[in-house]
Structure 1
């Protein structure tokens, strides 16, 4: 008995995003670029949501805080020197002291919150003290 090898007909394949039939290469997963982009976008969103639902907003606020501190020229403050700013003014500019990248202590044992290398701490009179901690931005 002689058997012949025939090309099997391609399986009915559908788009991984929208379910429409697709043709072409056998390893093709999406019917068009839009479906591919939408699929990947949802995958990334699902991953971020698994990390923390507010991760994107928190990171955005940390960046805003850092930009505000940079405008106050915190990086130009000399070693062991500080400057002061009214907390209400910083908050009015969009600063939120709840969000920062690290904590550090100075040589007097005071605890500082840092947005990368820009340190801040709230003091009793409604002001915020600013200082520069370059090592806080190192890996």
Structure 2
């Protein structure tokens, strides 16, 4: 008795072992990738992806060490200030939120929300 088996991804007939599911490693990889995309994004992945995006945006806009940017500009490209890794409180009492080594402080000037962007400095670690 012969069973007609086919690759789970490309549907080609399988030749070889009876427990074989894929015709080659590329089909196996493509099938697993397709299945992973069908699963809902896990909470951990959502947080990690947002932190990565926030860091990328802060890095891109802070080329000079300290920069002020309109909040709407950052938010339009996906920045979410609710996702950060740690904070630092300045001597003036301002609390900067950080995404790894890039920090931001929300401020308002002339009724316009802005972020002051800074980069982590060694002196910030000392207490």
User: Of residues 20, 35, 39 in structure 2, which corresponds to 1:28?
Assistant: 20
**2:117 aligned residue:** 130
**1:51 aligned residue:** 42
In structure 2, what is the Cα distance between the partners aligned to 1:99 and 1:51?
18
Aligned residues: 117
**1:117 aligned residue:** 101
**1:72 aligned residue:** 63
- Structure 1 residues 12 and 97: alpha-carbon distance in aligned structure 2, compared to 1, 3 A threshold: closer
In structure 1, what is the Cα distance between the partners aligned to 2:82 and 2:57?
8
**1:79 aligned residue:** none
What is the 5 A alignment of 1:7-18? 11-18=3-10
Q: CA RMSD in A?
A: 3.8
In structure 1, what is the Cα distance between the partners aligned to 2:23 and 2:81?
45
In structure 2, what is the Cα distance between the partners aligned to 1:26 and 1:96?
51
Unaligned runs of 5+ in 2: none
**2:32 aligned residue:** 40
TM-score, length-scaled by structure 1: 0.56
In structure 2, what is the Cα distance between the partners aligned to 1:87 and 1:33?
48
Give secondary structure in 1 for the equivalent of 2:108. coil
Give the strand-richer structure, 1 or 2: 2
